[in-house]
Amino acid sequence: MKRTTILAAASALAMVATGAVAQETLKIGALVTMSGAGASWGNGMKRAAELAAEDVNEAGGLEVGDTTYQVEIIAYDDSYKANEAVTAANRLVFEDEVKYIIGTVGSAPILAIQPITEENGVITMTLGFTAQALGADKQYTFRPNPTTAEVAQPQIDWIVRTQGVETVGALFPKDETGEAIAEDLSGAYEQAGATLVATEFFERDRVDFIPLLTRIIAQGVDAIELDGNSPVTAGQIVQQARDLGFEGVIIRTGGPATQEIVNVAGEAATEGMFVHSAFDPGVASAKAYEERYVETYDEPMNGFSPFFYDGTKMLFQAMQDAGTVEDTEAVATAYENISDYEGILGTMNWTGSERYGIAHQLDSPFYIARVTGGEEEIVARCTSTGCE
């Protein structure tokens, strides 16, 4: 389990120079996956928190009430496993005494740590796609990224309408995320007037999809859906489907991962693929974040990272609004009350009271992009009501 400390030297100097306000350290936990299959998501989340912390530290610290806080990120790895997440959560909550946790990546880990975090009033921000992660009885859990449930319908409506898709085949990993997404998508395609005729579930570490794709393609589907698969797996599916001579539409309704998919499958195989994108390179702040990320970490940015950057920034604002970092109940309420937040990706709001019974689900603009020459090209702009 990794512990990273970020304290900008510049801000330390600034502190010495001014020295008037009380300086304290605000510890924020990052309980994410840093090894194994989910590591690219986990790193994206942890780094988002680090960059957000760097921002406030370089500006002299986070001012809440009369105190200025230097933000420190304490990161632990859960290896995408519920048990390890519980140990790490125990350590964060009782040993490091953090009140805020960025994480977890997976659905099982968040469900496993919620008894600890909810009981101790620790605010968590999870990526986990399971519907159970949010609920009226879980007032400290937030999800700062849209899930398939939020983005599927408008996107699928648009694709079905414009691409004349009638039958769709899809492959999902056999885990909680895959099963949740399969259900959401099947309903969404039904409602859009198409059918998900072939669904296949496979073990998460599978790499050979030729037999499954043979079966799907033999059913004469118009399109293949990739949502729910990790970036690498999605790339392998694209490559192997094209290898088998599949010429129909390939769609990824959720989960930003275009860069990784192109890396794995190559430009030729991904040409013309339709992907969900939360990221409009036309928006300067989004572009700037990506460049900063790549420059700082020398790795391509994970698509979920900007959400967690915005989510962390919103959390800082909530602390300031509440005027406290100790009283997490007040901070959670202030967090909930933030509306029309201008984040790097666009305007953010909370939604979800209908679906989850609590408005802790982020609602943000998103796009449908067509992959051309390995790059995303936005073809439609969407909100939760529809795409144009």
Partner 1 sequence: MSFLIAQSLINGVILGTLYLLMAIGFTLAFGVMRIVNFAHGEFYMIGAFCALIGVTWLGLPYPVTLALTIVFAILMGAVVERLVFRPFRNDELSGMIASLGLAMILQHGALILFGPDPQAFPAMATGVFKWGALIVPKSRALALGIGIVILLIFYLFLMHTRHGRALRALVQDQEVAAVFGVRLEIMYPLGLGLGIALAAVAGGLMAPLFGVSPFIGATPLLKAFIVVILGGLGSIPGAALAAILLGLIESFTSSFVSASAADIVTFALVIGVLLVRPAGLLGRAEA
Partner 2 sequence: MSSALTRTTSGPRAMALLWAVALVAVALIPWITGSTFHFHIAIMVCISAMATGGLAVTAWVGQLSLAHAAFAGIGAYTSVLLVTRLDLPVLLGLPAGALVAGGVAFVIGAPLLRLRGVYFVLITFALNELFRLVMLEIPEYSGGSSGIAGIPKISLFGATLSSYEAVYPFALVCLALVMGLLVLIRKGQLGRRFGAVEENLALAEASGIPTARTQNLAFTIGSAIAGFAGAFLAHYVGFISPETFGFQLSVSYVIMLVTGGRLALWGPLVGALFLTPLPEFLRGAVEYQHIIYGVILIAVLRFLPQGLAGLPAQLSRKEGRA
Residues binding partner 2 (CB under 8 A):
1-3, 77, 81-83, 86-87, 90-91, 94-95, 107-108, 111-112, 114-115, 130, 132, 174-176, 178-180
Q: Which is nearer to partner 1, 172 or 350 (CB)?
A: 172
| Distance of closest approach, residue 66 Cβ to partner 2, in angstroms | 30
CB of 82 to partner 2, least distance (A): 5
Phi, psi of 132 (to 5 degrees): -70, -15
Asked if 196 and 168 touch (Cβ cutoff 8 Å), the reply is yes
C-beta closer to partner 1: residue 202 or 356: 202
Q: Which does 43 bind (CB under 5 to 8 A by kind): partner 2, partner 1, none?
A: partner 1
**Which lies closer to partner 2 via its Cβ, residue 179 or residue 222?**
179
CA–CA distance, 126 with 103 (Å, rounded to integer): 5
Structure tokens at 41: 């998501």
CA distances 240 to 156, 265, 320, Å, are 23, 8, 51
Question: Which of 357, 355, 341, 358 lies closest to 384 in space, CA to CA?
Answer: 355
Cβ of residue 281: shortest distance to partner 2, in angstroms?
A: 34
Quick one: 138 or 313, whose CB is closer to partner 2?
Answer: 138
Interior angle at CA 122, CA 96 and CA 130, nearest 5 = 120
Q: List the single partner that 37 binds among partner 2, partner 1, none, CB under 5 to 8 Å by kind.
A: partner 1
Q: What amino acid is encoded at 272 in this protein?
A: G
The answer to whether 135 touches 111, Cβ cutoff 8 Å, is no
Phi, psi of 323 (to 5 degrees): 75, 20
Which partner, partner 2, partner 1, none, binds residue 312 by CB below 5 to 8 Å per kind?
Answer: none
For the CB of residue 103, give the shortest distance to partner 1 in the complex, in Å: 16
CB 371 within 8 A of CB 363: no
| Interacting residues with partner 1 (CB under 8 A) | 34-37, 39-40, 43, 174, 200-203, 205-208, 210-212, 214-215, 218, 231-232, 235-236, 239-240, 243-245, 260, 263-264, 266, 268, 299
On whether the CB atoms of residues 98 and 92 are closer than 8 A, the answer is: yes
- How far, in Å, CA of 357 to CA of 294, rounded? 38
Closest CB to partner 2 among 173 and 255? 173
Q: Which is nearer to partner 1, 35 or 349 (CB)?
A: 35
Looking at beta carbons only, is 178 or 235 nearer to partner 2? Answer: 178
Shortest Å distance, C-beta 86 to partner 2:
5
77 binds, among partner 1, partner 2, none (CB under 5 to 8 A by kind): partner 2
CB 338 within 8 A of CB 243: no
Distance in angstroms (rounded) separating the CA atoms of residues 180 and 183: 5
**Least CB distance to partner 2 at residue 371 (A):** 30
Kindly give the pairing relationship between strand 366-372 and strand 375-383: antiparallel
Q: Among partner 1, partner 2, none, what does residue 215 contact (CB within 5–8 Å per kind)?
A: partner 1
Residue 67 Cβ vs partner 1, minimum distance, rounded to whole Å: 37
Listed residue (154, 185, 145, 150) closest to 279, CA to CA = 145
Amino acid at 353: S
Out of partner 1, partner 2, none, what residue 220 binds, judged by CB under 5 to 8 A for its kind, is none
* Binding at 240: pick from partner 1, partner 2, none (beta carbon under 5-8 Å per type): partner 1
Residue environment code for 172-182, b if the CB has 16+ CB neighbours within 10 A, otherwise e: bbebbbbbbbb
Residue placing its CB nearer to partner 1 in the complex, 118 or 175: 175
Q: Which does 161 bind (CB under 5 to 8 A by kind): partner 1, partner 2, none?
A: none
In the 8-state DSSP scheme, what is residue 36?
S
